[in-house]
Amino acid sequence: MLQLSDKWAPILTNQAETGMGYQIVSVHLLDGRRFDGVVIDSGFITRVGRSAAVPFVEAEIADIVITHDKCVAGLIS
């Protein structure tokens, strides 16, 4: 699990929730990698796709894009 700083609050709070208290996003890193199906719940990245492991740190994040894609996040089949 990775807690996000207040830096990301404007992006997250100005977008609709995917479900009660959470959003599904794509995280774009400074090195060009992209992680889809990332679940952010109450300011914490709680899973990346179907894994609870977060393979990056906040300093590597270039952008967060809300997608609401439950399939990629493994929340539905």
- List, for residues 19-60, the tens digit of each pLDDT value: 999 999 999 999 999 999 999 999 999 999 988 899 999 999
Distance (Å, whole) CA 45 – CA 29: 14
pLDDT of residue 76: 66
57 phi and psi, to 5 degrees?
-115, 165
Q: What is the pTM of this model?
A: 0.89
> What are the CA-CA distances from residue 2 to residues 36, 42, 47, 71 (Å)?
16, 11, 9, 22
Q: What amino acid occupies position 67?
A: T
Question: 73, 65, 57: which is closest to 28 by C-alpha?
Answer: 65
